[in-house]
């Protein structure tokens, strides 16, 4: 199953980033990176720096393609954390030719 990148996927990412930014402004830890628990840099555009925001899929799209567009499967994370997590995922070399955030 190929990863999709439809307009709906794009909208989900934008809305998820906006939600995280709003929560962070309120000091809500729910906006923090779910992998390392540190604050995410919401002042910069997503996926532009290691500390920038990245939409991580709690259940990997690789195994749960039907959940890619499900907001309940989305987690706030650092671009760097999601990247390192992905590298440690099972079956390296199979798929994920493109970064997980795109």
Residues that bind Zn ion (CB under 5 A): 33, 35-36, 78, 81
Is residue 24 within a helix (H) or strand (E), and if so which, with residue range?
helix 7-25
Task: Quote the least distance from Cβ 77 to Zn ion, whole Å.
Answer: 6
Closest residue to bound Zn ion by CB? 33
Handedness of CA 31, 34, 35, 36 (dihedral sign): positive
Task: Quote the least distance from Cβ 56 to Zn ion, whole Å.
Answer: 9
Q: Which is nearer to Zn ion, 23 or 35 (CB)?
A: 35
Structure tokens belonging to residue 29: 């830890």
Q: Which is nearer to Zn ion, 4 or 99 (CB)?
A: 99
Integer Cα distance of 69 and 42 in angstroms: 22
Task: Quote the least distance from Cβ 82 to Zn ion, whole Å.
Answer: 8
At 88, give phi and psi (nearest 5°). -95, 0
Q: Which is nearer to Zn ion, 33 or 61 (CB)?
A: 33
């Amino acid at each position: 199953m190929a990863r999709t990148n439809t307009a709906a996927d794009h909208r989900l990412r934008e809305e998820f980033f906006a939600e995280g930014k709003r929560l962070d402004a309120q000091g809500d830890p729910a906006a923090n990176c779910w992998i390392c628990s540190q604050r995410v840099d919401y002042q910069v555009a997503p996926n532009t720096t290691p500390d920038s925001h990245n939409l991580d899929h709690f259940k990997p799209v690789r195994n749960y393609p039907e959940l890619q567009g499900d907001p309940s499967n989305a987690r706030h994370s650092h671009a760097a954390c999601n990247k390192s997590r992905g590298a440690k995922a099972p079956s390296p070399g199979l798929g994920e030719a493109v970064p997980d955030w795109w």
